[in-house]
Amino acid sequence: MTRPRILVVDDEPNIVDMVTTVLEFHGFEMSSAATAAEAYTAADTHHPDLVVLDVMLPDGDGFEVCRTLRRRLPRVGVVLLTAKDTHSERVAGLTFGADDYVAKPFNIDELLARVRAVLRRILPDPAEQPESAPLRFADVELDEQACTVQRAGHPLNLSRTEFELLRYLMLNRGRVLSRGQIIDAVWSADYTGGSNIVDTYIGYLRRKLGAFGPNLIQTQRGFGYVLRTDEQA
């Protein structure tokens, strides 16, 4: 089985060495970068499953680096390292696409636990989700090959945009997605309209899915949307 790939981005060599050594010991395939520019190159080369990313980099804002990495690798997980454990920092991190954050100075065991938790959410289980199998969440099934969607056995008539939006939500089930992330993934980074287009299409999807079961698309106020059941909320 392929080992999960992790990219560590931090300009402090002692932190990079510690994180790389410990995570490699626990079975991860590691790479590292000290700047934003190096992070983009490493991401393009190694295609990491998850990035441990410092918010303060010598050549760029870690939040913007997070957004760019998620645009290039939509399914990559991001754990931010931040020197400020404040509400505004947490909001900024989630808004720009991070999955979790750890405040410096941090305990390496806590970082390891958070990395594992994010990977469990974002990496498919080969035993449950073969590569060619339809995407499934609760009683919803999306077949990418046939371009069909059904809920509780009932076929749904979705537009192409609705299909792509649902697909993106299902690929990132359990992860809160900002409007910006959704626009980048479903409409493209070149889209220049307002972010309320996301709210409109979320409404379309909710009505069509809701015809055959309870709401699965939850609103995370101030952050965006997440696909999860009421029991998971």
Q: What is the CATH number of the domain that holds 101?
A: 3.40.50.2300
Residues 33 and 60 in one domain: yes
Residues 109 and 154 in one domain: no
Residue 129 lies in a domain: no
Residues 97 and 184 in one domain: no
Whether residue 186 contacts residue 164, with contact meaning beta carbons closer than 8 Å, is answered with yes
Q: What is the pLDDT of residue 212?
A: 95
Residues 192 and 220 in one domain: yes
Which of 89, 122, 155 represents a domain boundary (last residue)?
122
Residue 113 lies in a domain: yes
Q: What is the pLDDT of residue 230?
A: 73
Question: Considering the chain, what is the average pLDDT of its residues?
Answer: 85
- Burial bucket for residue 190 (CB in 10 Å: 0-12, 13-18, 19+): exposed
Average pLDDT rounded to a whole number, residues 82-96: 62
Angle CA 84–78–215, to nearest 5: 105
Residues 103 and 157 in one domain: no
Q: What's the pTM? A: 0.57
- For 74, the domain range is 5-122
Q: What is the pLDDT of residue 166?
A: 95
Which of 62, 93, 122 represents a domain boundary (last residue)?
122
Give the residue among 127, 93, 220, 132 at the shortest CA–CA distance from 169: 220
Under the banding of pLDDT at 50, 70 and 90, the label for residue 179 is confident
Number of compact structural domains in the chain: 2
Q: What is the pLDDT of residue 144?
A: 85
Q: Could you report how far apart the first and last alpha carbons of the chain are, in Å?
A: 32
Residues 117 and 16 in one domain: yes
Residues 143 and 117 in one domain: no
Under the banding of pLDDT at 50, 70 and 90, the label for residue 72 is confident
DSSP string, 111-159: HHHHHHHHHHHHS--TTTS-TTSPEEETTEEEETTTTEEEETTEEE---
Average pLDDT rounded to a whole number, residues 194-210: 90
Q: Running DSSP on this structure, what letter comes out for residue 82?
A: E
Residues 147 and 82 in one domain: no
- Give pLDDT tens digits for 98-135: 788 888 888 999 899 889 888 887 776 544 444 557 89
